[in-house]
Chain A
Amino acid sequence: MMWIDSGTMPLLTLSVFFLLLSPATSTSAPGRPRVTSCRSPEKETFTCWWEPGDDGGLPTTYALYYCLEGSETVYECPDYKTAGKNSCFFSKNDTSLWINYNISVVATNAEGKSVSEPVEVDVVYIVQPKTPESVMVSVLEDDHGPYLRVSWDKPRSADTRSGWITLVYQLRVKQVKEENWEEYDAGMQKYYNVFSLHSGKEYMVQVRCKPDHGFWSEWTTPAYIQMPDFIPRERSMWIMVAVFSAFILLIFAWTMNVKRSSVKHYLLPPIPGPKIRGFDQQLLKSGKSEEVFNALVIQGFPPTTNYEDLLVEYLEVYDDVKQELVLNGKNLPEGLLKSKTMSSDNDSGRGSCDSRTLLMEKCAEGVEESGMEQELSQFGESSWASSDSGEDRENPASPRQEDRKVQTWPPVFSSPQPHHFQQQQPGGTRASYHSVPEISCRSPPGHSSGGQQNRFSKPGFYQYTQMHSMDSIEHKHVAQVPQSQSAEYVEVQTVDPENILLLRPLANAEGHDPELSDFAGEDYSKVRDVTSDNILLLQRDLSGPQYVRDYCQDQSGQVDPCFMQLQQVEQTCKPTNVHLHLPSLMLQDGMRLAGNGYVDSTIMMS
C-alpha cells in the first residue's frame, strides 16, 4: 500500500462510506419519459402511450399535456385509465381531426420533473383499425376443383357505413408446414376466393385491414382449413390424353412394323427391273436356258419365210496348227443372247437386250436378201449350234437336221448386219451373220483337247466368229480371213453337251473365197488367244495371220489354239455375266486390235 497517496486515502474511505450508507436515499429527478405512439382505431378517438424513463428512485408520476395547434391552451390528458398503464385515452369529445396535437409527458417525482420530447399528432394520420372479425374459411367446389372461400367482417368499431372510414382488406394464406405466405389484396370487399391450392394439405388464413391512409391492423388469429384430396381435372385430362395418344402410337408402330415391307415399298418404290416381254424370269431362276429361249420364241416371227436368209454361218477353219485359233464357243443361243446383252450393257444407245427388236431390225434388211439363199443352201447347214438345247448335240446332225435347227434359229439370234456386207459386196450377196461370241472349234470326232490339231488338217482353215459386241450392228470378226490362203468352210455339225461345237468341213469352199477374202478386212478381228478361263483374246491387227502364227508360236505351249469351248452363256441380259470378258483382254505384248476396232475398245480396255 505504499503507492497510495496519503491524501487520497481519506477521500476514498469517505466515498465508500457514502456508497454504503446511501443506497436507499439517492434520488434524482426522473429520467425523461418518451411518447412511444399514438393510435386511433376508428378516427374518432385516440390513445397515446409513453414509456417512462428512469424514475430516479422516487415514486414518479406521469402526466400528459397537450395543446392544440394554433392555441396556447394546455390541456391535460382526460383519461389515464382506459387504455392501461402509461397511456392516455382521448375520447370523442376530446378528439379533433385535422388539427395537430402537441403532446408531451411530464414525469414528476420528489426530486424534480422531466419533460419528454413533444410529439405532434394529427389524428387523421394515425388511424390503425382493429383486426377484422369473424373470419370464416370454407371449401367450395367448381368445375376445376375445390377452392377456398374466405369471408370476414369489418372491425366493429370502424364506421364504414357512414363513409367516415374506408377500409381495404388483405389476407394471406400458407400451408401449415411451409414458411412463405401468399398475400392477396381484397380491396373493400369482405370475401375472397383462393384457387390453385394443393390437395390434401392443411392451410391457415389470416386477414387484416387498413384505412385509405393509415396503418395496417394486426393480423387476425389464423383460421385452419384442410383441403380435400382431389386430382386436378386438367391433369387427369392430360393424363388421359397422353395415355390415349401413346396407345394410338403403339398401334401405329405395330402396324408399320407388320407392314414393313409394303411401307418400304410405298416410300421407296423399287426400281423396276428390265423386262422382256414374254420373258419369264422364273424360268431363268430354274436354270434351264432352253425353256427360256423357248419362251421367247414366237412361232411365225419374224414374219418372213426367208429366215434362212438370216442365217449365214461361215466357219473358216485353219488347218495350220500354228494358226489355229481357239475360239471359245458357247451354247450359241446363249452366246448370242449374251452378246446382245453385252451390246446393251456398257454403252448407251446401243441395242437393248430385247432380242425381238434386234431381230426386227435385222430381219427387215434380211428379207431383201435373195442371194443369200443360195449360199445358205450350199452350206445350208452352215449354221451354228442349234438353239435347241442339247437335243442335237449328241449326234452329229445331218444337214437336214441342221436345217431344221436353223429354222428355229432366227428369233434367237440377232439379225445380220447388212451394211458391212454391202460395203464389201455390192453385188448384194450378202451373208447375214449370226453373232456368236465364242465358238469352240473342236472337231467332231474327238473332244479331247489334245487331238484338236488333227482336225484341222486343211491348211488355211480358220475360224472366225462374228461377235456381237456391244453394238448389234458391229461385227466382231474373230478371225481374219487370210486372203493368201485358201480358206475352207466348216459347218457346225452339232453342239456337244459340253458345249463344244463340232465342226464339219464343207465341200465348196472356194466359191466363197472371194467372199471370205472380201470378208476379211477391217470388220473382223482375230481371236488371238483364249485364256484358260474361257476368255477370248482378240487381235486387233489385220495384217494377217502371221500374227496369229507368231502369237501361236510364241505361246505355243500355253495356248491350245484351236481349242474352243463353248461357254455357258448366261441366260440373262445382265452385263455381269458377259463371258467374253473383254475387259480381261488386255493388250498384251504384240497384240493389237483389229483395225476397225470391231472389238469394242471400251470392253477391251476397261
Chain B
Amino acid sequence: MSRNQKQAVLFVALLCLDLRTHVGSAPICPHGHTGCHILSLADLFDRVIQHSARLHGLSSDLHSEFEHFFLPSKNHIGRVYRKCHTSSILTPNGKENAQKLAREELTEVILKLLTAWRDPLSQLHQSMAHQQDFNSFSSNKALELSDMVHELRKGVEKVTEKMQLLGMISNSVNGLSSSEALLPASESGEAMSDYELVYCFRRDSDKVQNYLKILKCRIVPEHGC
C-alpha cells in the first residue's frame, strides 16, 4: 500500500501548500525538505494523458484481436450489439459540446467513465481466462486493462484534487463515489459478451483520453497545446 501512502503524503503536502501560490510554476516542498519532489499540475496532466493513451492503445489491440478471432467479416453484417453500459453517462460527442462543458463536469464525466469500467474489466479478464479460445496473451491484456483503469482513475482523482486545491475548479465534483453502483447490465438484462465489452471499452478509453486533453489545454494551456 505504498501507493496509498504516497498519495496520502502528497495530499497532506498539497494541503500544506500555501493556497496563494500561483498555478503550476514553482512547486515548493513543505517543511523545507529538499529531497521531495512535488509535481506540477501540468506534469500531472501529462502523466495522466500518457496513461490514458496507453490504455487506449491496449484496448485497441485487444479489439483487433477479437475481430480477427471472432468476426472475420469487417462490416459485422448481422451483428447485433447492445448498447454499452456506459451509454447512460452523458458524454459530449463533439468538440463544441466538449468545450461547452464546464471543467468540473468534464472532470466528472471522466471519473464516471473510469469508475464504470473497473468491474466490467475484471469480469472480462476472468471470463477470458476461463475460456480456451483466447491465448494467455489476450487474457493478460484484459487483466492489464483493469489494472490500468484503476490506476488511471486514481490519477485523475489526484489531478482533480490538485485542481480543486489550486482553485481551478470548484469542489462540486462528486463523481468519485456515486458511480460505483453502475453495473454493466444491458437493457435486456443479459450480460454483455466479451466482444461487446472490448468494443465498448475501446470507445470509452478514447473518450477519456480526448477529454483529458481538452481539460489540460483548457487549464494549463502553455504546455504543448
Contact = CB atoms under 8 A, between A and B. Distances in A.
Contacts of A99: 93
Which among A92, A98, A120, A213 has the greatest number of chain B C-beta atoms within 10 A?
A: A98
Interface string A126-169: 00000000000000000000000000000000011111101000
Interface residues of A, number: 25
A536 interface: no
A95 to B, nearest CB: 7
B125 interface: no
Interface in A87-142: 92, 95-99, 117-120, 122, 124
A174 B203 CA distance: 39
B10 interface: no
Nearest to A164: B95
B94 A92 contact: yes
B213 A166 contact: yes
B95 A159 contact: yes
B225 A164 contact: no
Given A43-B95, A97-B93, A118-B75, A164 B213 contact: yes
B96 A92 contact: yes
A584 to B, nearest CB: 100
A373 interface: no
B75 A96 contact: no
Contacts of A188: 224
A95 B93 CA distance: 9
A137 to B, nearest CB: 25
A96 B224 contact: no
A392 interface: no
A70 B81 CA distance: 9
A355 to B, nearest CB: 95
A98 B92 CA distance: 9
A331 to B, nearest CB: 106
A98 B93 contact: yes
A161 B214 CA distance: 9
Interface in B160-203: 203
A44 interface: yes
B56 A98 contact: no
B94 A95 contact: yes
Interface residues of B, number: 28
Contacts of B207: 98
B203 A162 contact: no
A368 interface: no
B83 A97 contact: no
Contact of A98 (B91, B213, B221): B91
Nearest to A166: B213
B219 to A, nearest CB: 10
B55 to A, nearest CB: 13
B56 A213 contact: yes
Contact of B225 (A97, A160, A213): A160
Given A120-B76, A212-B53, A96 B94 contact: yes
A163 B216 contact: yes
B60 interface: yes
Given A117-B75, A163-B217, A124 B206 contact: yes
B95 A162 contact: yes
Contact of A162 (B91, B99, B224): B99
A193 to B, nearest CB: 20
B184 to A, nearest CB: 16
Contacts of B60: 213
Contacts of B221: 161
B94 A163 contact: no
A95 B206 CA distance: 17
B210 interface: yes
A49 B201 CA distance: 29
Interface string B36-64: 00000000000000000100100010000
A70 B225 contact: no
A487 to B, nearest CB: 121
Interface string A410-426: 00000000000000000
A119 to B, nearest CB: 6
B100 interface: no
Contacts of A164: 95, 98, 210, 213-214
Contacts of B214: 162-164
Which among B94, B216, B217, B218 has the greatest number of chain A C-beta atoms within 10 A?
A: B94
Given A70-B83, A92-B96, A98-B93, A161 B75 contact: no
A166 B217 CA distance: 12
B93 A96 contact: yes
B217 A44 contact: no
A312 B3 CA distance: 120
Interface in A154-202: 159-164, 166, 188
Contacts of A118: 75, 77
Nearest to A117: B75
A118 B213 CA distance: 33
Interface string B69-92: 000000111000001000100010
Contacts of A122: 203
A44 B217 CA distance: 18
A70 B187 CA distance: 12
Contacts of A95: 94
B53 to A, nearest CB: 7
Which among B76, B77, B203 has the greatest number of chain A C-beta atoms within 10 A?
A: B203
Contacts of A212: 53
B217 A98 contact: no
Nearest to A119: B75
A105 to B, nearest CB: 14
B156 to A, nearest CB: 15
A163 B94 CA distance: 13
Contacts of A97: 93-94
Given A163-B214, A213-B56, A98 B224 contact: no
23 contacts: A92-B96, A95-B94, A97-B93, A98-B93, A98-B206, A99-B93, A118-B75, A119-B75, A122-B203, A124-B206, A159-B95, A161-B221, A161-B225, A162-B95, A162-B99, A162-B214, A162-B217, A163-B215, A163-B216, A166-B213, A188-B224, A212-B53, A213-B206
Interface of A: 43-44, 70, 92, 95-99, 117-120, 122, 124, 159-164, 166, 188, 212-213
Interface of B: 53, 56, 60, 75-77, 83, 87, 91, 93-96, 98-99, 203, 206-207, 210, 213-218, 221, 224-225
Given A162-B214, A164-B210, 15 more contacts: A44-B94, A44-B95, A96-B94, A99-B93, A117-B75, A159-B95, A161-B221, A162-B99, A162-B225, A163-B217, A163-B218, A164-B95, A164-B213, A188-B224, A213-B60
